[in-house]
């Protein structure tokens, strides 16, 4: 009995240490772990297709066309997960806005990012900055993503990427990537169309004058704005 009790205690201690270690990881570290796991398990063919997809985004011109630091952020009004209208203009009256795009609840890198945004929500609230997450998912899917990740910030459904297009961050998937996405989880069901288009996983910090003071744009969807960089941009507005 004593040995069992000791073994149980050691197991609990190790579990707690693992949980503490996970909590201390940065978003970037967790994303890198996910990338490493994919590279270890995925076939060479799948890695080739995805790498070529990222290269196509780089060559598409979307990074050059996108709204960037110093630009005025286009206003918009979108429905949140429960069907209520949320506008950038009104949110800016509360404070500087953190605007984050995620590709969909099907994307593991997006779910990791959403988790970290939720974990750091108090930091955004302390700085008086509303956090808005935009997605091309149809409302039913965005509601599912919100509930699955226990999100307490606004998740807005940008159907057909209309707002993303105004920010210049929409790109078309290569046929091979689009085929994998459709066969794996049904991208058209998530987006409500068969366009095969997605937004960059972009992040913006917008000051109360509507000017972008921080922008994160990357062709590789596995790269996301570090939380510490977003907070730094907000602190510089104080």
Within a domain: 205: yes
User: How many beta carbons lie within 10 A of that of residue 85, not counting itself?
Assistant: 10
The pTM assigned to this predicted structure is 0.88
Within a domain: 84: yes
Domain that holds residue 136: 28-235
Within a domain: 16: no
Within a domain: 128: yes
Q: What is the CATH number of the domain that holds 82?
A: 3.40.30.10
For 3, 42, 83, 211, the CA distances from 101, given in Å and listed in that order, are 51, 26, 18, 18
| Residue-level pLDDT at 16 | 44
Output the CA torsion 155→182→196→60 (10° steps). Answer: 100
For 5, 69, 149, 157, the CA distances from 108, given in Å and listed in that order, are 37, 27, 12, 18
| Residue-level pLDDT at 9 | 43
Write the CB contacts of 126 (distance below 8 Å, at least 6 apart in sequence).
none
CA–CA dist 178, 91 (Å, integer): 34
Within a domain: 9: no
| Residue-level pLDDT at 23 | 63
For 47, 101, 159, 192, the CA distances from 83, given in Å and listed in that order, are 38, 18, 13, 16
Q: Which 3 state secondary structure label does DSSP give 173?
A: coil
The pLDDT averaged over each successive group of 10 residues in the chain (238 residues) is 44 43 82 97 97 98 98 96 93 98 96 96 97 93 80 94 98 98 96 96 98 98 98 96
């Amino acid at each position: 009995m004593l040995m069992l009790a000791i073994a149980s205690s050691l197991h609990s201690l190790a579990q707690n240490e693992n949980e503490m270690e996970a909590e201390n990881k940065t978003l970037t570290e967790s994303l890198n772990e996910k990338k490493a796991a994919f590279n270890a398990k995925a076939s060479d063919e799948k890695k080739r297709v995805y790498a070529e997809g990222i290269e196509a985004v780089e060559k598409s011109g979307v990074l050059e066309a996108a709204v960037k630091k110093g630009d005025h952020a286009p206003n918009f009004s979108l429905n949140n997960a429960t069907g209520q209208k949320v506008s950038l203009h009104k949110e800016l009256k509360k404070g500087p806005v953190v605007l984050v795009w995620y590709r969909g609840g099907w994307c593991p890198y997006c779910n990791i990012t959403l988790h970290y945004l939720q974990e750091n929500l108090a930091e955004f609230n302390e700085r008086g900055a509303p956090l808005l997450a935009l997605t091309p998912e149809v409302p039913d899917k965005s509601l599912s993503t919100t509930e699955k990740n226990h999100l307490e910030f606004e998740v807005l459904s940008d159907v057909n990427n209309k707002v993303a297009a105004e920010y210049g961050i929409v790109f078309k998937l290569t046929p091979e990537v689009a085929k994998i996405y459709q066969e794996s989880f049904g991208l058209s069901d998530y987006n409500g169309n068969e366009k095969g288009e997605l937004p960059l996983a972009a992040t913006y910090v917008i000051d109360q004058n509507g000017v972008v003071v921080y922008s994160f744009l990357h062709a590789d969807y596995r790269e996301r704005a570090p939380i510490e960089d977003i907070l730094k941009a907000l602190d510089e507005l104080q």
